[in-house]
Structures are given as structure tokens and as C-alpha cells.
């Protein structure tokens, strides 16, 4: 058993919400930027029930003017067992 980092989806969602609000964008604005028909994906990201894809993270970072590392929160204390 060793420590393996994982993404803290809830904290990442809070970061997305905070950064969106700091940039003055609404959920609807973000949905339009991504070309989504509905804002459901944005809400799922913000609630930590889903993660943006890598290409969507790149766009979020550009829209928010931050690095992707400023969006994604890593939890390094998760224990994992790897089998070969």
C-alpha cells in the first residue's frame, strides 16, 4: 500500500465556482463558451459530481486566466493498492 494522489472533485468544483464568480461569468455564460445546449455539465463540475475533460480544463484555465493547477485540487493522502 502506498500513497497515490487523486483529484479532490469537491474542492475542484469549489475552485471552478470561485474562479467563475471572480471573472464575473454566470453558469449560462460558461455553457455558451463551451457550446453546451444546457448548463448541466457546468453545475456537475461545480458540485464535484463530474470533472471537466482535459480539453475543457484547458479552456477553463484560459477563460479564468489561471493555470490548470489553479483549478484542479490534488489530494495526495489517498491510499491505494496497485496490483500488477
Identify the CATH number of the domain in which residue 60 sits.
Answer: 1.10.260.40
Range of the domain at 53: 2-80
Supply the pLDDT for residue 8: 95
53: burial class by Cβ within 10 Å (0-12, 13-18, 19+)?
A: exposed
Q: What is the pTM of this model?
A: 0.86
Q: What's the confidence (pLDDT) of residue 78?
A: 58
How far apart (Å, rounded) are the C-alpha atoms in residues 32 and 42? 11
The dihedral sign for the CA sequence 42, 47, 51, 54: positive
Query: What pLDDT band is residue 83 in, cutting at 50, 70 and 90?
Result: low
pLDDT at 48 over 80: yes
User: Is residue 82 predicted with pLDDT exceeding 80?
Assistant: no
Total structural domains within the chain? 1
Amino acid at each position: 500500500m502506498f500513497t497515490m494522489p487523486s483529484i479532490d472533485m469537491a474542492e475542484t468544483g469549489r475552485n471552478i465556482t470561485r474562479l467563475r464568480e471572480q471573472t464575473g461569468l454566470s453558469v449560462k455564460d460558461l455553457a455558451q463558451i463551451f457550446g453546451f445546449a444546457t448548463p448541466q455539465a457546468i453545475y456537475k463540475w461545480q458540485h464535484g459530481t463530474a470533472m471537466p475533460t482535459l480539453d475543457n480544463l484547458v479552456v477553463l484555465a484560459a477563460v479564468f486566466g489561471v493555470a490548470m493547477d489553479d483549478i484542479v485540487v490534488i489530494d495526495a493522502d489517498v491510499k491505494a493498492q496497485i496490483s500488477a
